[in-house]
Amino acid sequence: MRILIAGACGMLGRDLVEVLSEGQELYLLDVERFPPSLSSQFSTLTLDITDSEKTYREVTKINPDIVIHVAAYTDVDGSETNRDLAFRANALGTRNIALACQRFDTALLYISTDFVFDGEKGEPYVEFDRPEPQSIYAKSKYWGELYIESLLNRFYIVRSSWLFGKSGKNFVTTILNLAKEKKKLEVVTDQIGSPTYTKDLARAIAQLIGARGKDFSTGASVYGIWHITNSGQCSWYEFAAQILQDSDVHLKPITSEELDRPARRPKFSVLDNYIWRLQGWKPLRHWKEALKDYLKEIGEQ
Ligand SMILES: NC(=O)c1ccc[n+]([C@@H]2O[C@H](COP(=O)([O-])OP(=O)(O)OC[C@H]3O[C@@H](n4cnc5c(N)ncnc54)[C@H](OP(=O)(O)O)[C@@H]3O)[C@@H](O)[C@H]2O)c1
C-alpha cells in the first residue's frame, strides 16, 4: 500500500510513521524541513497544505492509495487570536487535500477532535451525535470534516482526544516539567475526557485502514466517522494526579472559570468508541496502562 502521511513530523505523525513503516510504501509530508532520521529512510515532501495548487499537484503526483492527514494548526488558545491561521490550515488545508484525493478517488483518513462537541450531553458522545463546536480551533477542525464529507466518498474521519506521545509537547510533559520547578500546581477538575496515547491511536488507525494483513481494497465497509480513544475517562486534575503519583507535588483542584483560558473547552467530551465496538473490535486499553508505557518510553519511570 502506498501511504502519504501529511503532518508526519508532528506528535501523532511520528508514531504513525513508526507503526506503518513495515511493509508499506510511505511518503511523508510536512510544512517543516525533515530531520535526517526521516529523510534518509523515506520519500519526503516539504509542503504547506494551505497552498492549494501545490498541494493538488504534489499529492496527485504521488498518487497514493490513501492519505493519512494529521497536519493541523493545533494551538487551541492561539486559534482564538489567529483565527485566519486556524481556518486556513485546518479547514482550507483539509479541503485542499480532499480535492487532490478526489482526482483519483484516493481514500483519505482525517484526524478530528472531541472538541467538535459542546460537552453538554453529560454522557459519552457517539459518532451519531451532532457536533456543536465552541471554539475557533474546534470550528476549523469541524469544517475540515464537512469539506471531506462533501467532496469524497472514500473517507475515514477519526475523532480522538487528549493526545500524548513521545514526539510532541503535551499535557504529560507540561505537568512533569512544571513539577520540576514548583511544589504546588493548580489543575482543572471540571473538564472530563479520555487521554489517548498516540502509539495506541496509530496502531488503531493501522487496523482501521487494513494495513495490518487485511486486504485494503475491502476497506469500503469501514469508511465513515469513528471515535478512537484509550478506554476510561478522567478530569485533567485526575490525569495530573496519575502522572505525579510518586511525587510530593501538591495538586490544587480549580475550575475552568478560575483558569480563564481564551478558548472555551467542552466540560465533558468523552468519546464513546461506539462504531469500533459495533464492529466487534477489542477496545483500546485503559489510559492509565497507556500512560505507564509512555512514562517508561520517555524515561520517567
Ligand atoms: N493534540 C491533541 O490533544 C489532539 C486531540 C484531538 C485531535 N487532534 C488532532 O490530531 C492531529 C495530530 O495532532 P498532534 O498533536 O500530533 O499535532 P502536531 O504535533 O502539532 O502535528 C501537526 C503537524 O502538522 C504540521 N503542520 C501544521 N500546519 C501545516 C501546514 N499548513 N502544512 C503542512 N503541515 C502543517 C505541523 O508543523 P508545525 O509544528 O511546524 O506547525 C506538525 O508537524 C491534528 O489534526 C489535531 O487536530 C489532536
> What are the pLDDT tens digits along the chain (301 aa)?
899 999 999 999 999 999 999 889 999 999 988 999 999 999 999 999 999 999 999 999 999 999 999 999 999 999 999 999 999 999 999 999 999 999 999 999 999 999 999 999 999 999 999 999 999 999 999 999 999 999 999 999 999 999 999 999 999 999 999 999 999 999 999 999 999 999 999 999 999 998 544 445 554 458 999 999 999 999 999 999 999 998 999 999 999 999 999 999 999 999 999 999 998 899 999 999 999 999 999 998 7
Residue nearest to atom 27 of ligand 1 (CA): 72
Q: What is the pLDDT of residue 276?
A: 94
Given the residues 137, 142, 237, 294, the one annotated as active site: 137
How far is the centre of ligand 1, averaged over its atoms, from the C-alpha of 228 (Å)? 17
Q: What is the pLDDT of residue 190?
A: 96
What spatial distance separates the first Cα and last Cα of the chain, rounded to whole Å?
Answer: 37
What are the angstrom distances between the C-alpha of 201 and each of 9, 163, 206, 291? Answer: 16, 9, 9, 13
How far is the centre of ligand 1, averaged over its atoms, from the C-alpha of 7 (Å)? 6
How far is the centre of ligand 1, averaged over its atoms, from the C-alpha of 286 (Å)? 24
Ligand 1: atom nearest CA of 69 is: 45
Q: What is the pLDDT of residue 211?
A: 56
Q: What is the pLDDT of residue 222?
A: 85
**Residue 137 among the catalytic residues:** yes
How far is the centre of ligand 1, averaged over its atoms, from the C-alpha of 195 (Å)? 17
Fill in the amino acid letter for 73: Y
Pocket lined around ligand 1, Cβ cut-off 6 Å: 7, 9-13, 30-32, 48-50, 70-74, 89, 93, 111, 113, 141, 160-163, 168
Q: What is the pLDDT of residue 220?
A: 47
Helix (H) or strand (E) holding 5: strand 2-6
Residue nearest to atom 13 of ligand 1 (CA): 12
Task: Report the residue among 4, 14, 19, 30 best suited for mutation to probe ligand 1: largest number of ligand atoms under 8 A from its CB.
Answer: 30
Pairing of strands 25-30, 2-6: parallel
Q: What is the pLDDT of residue 246?
A: 83
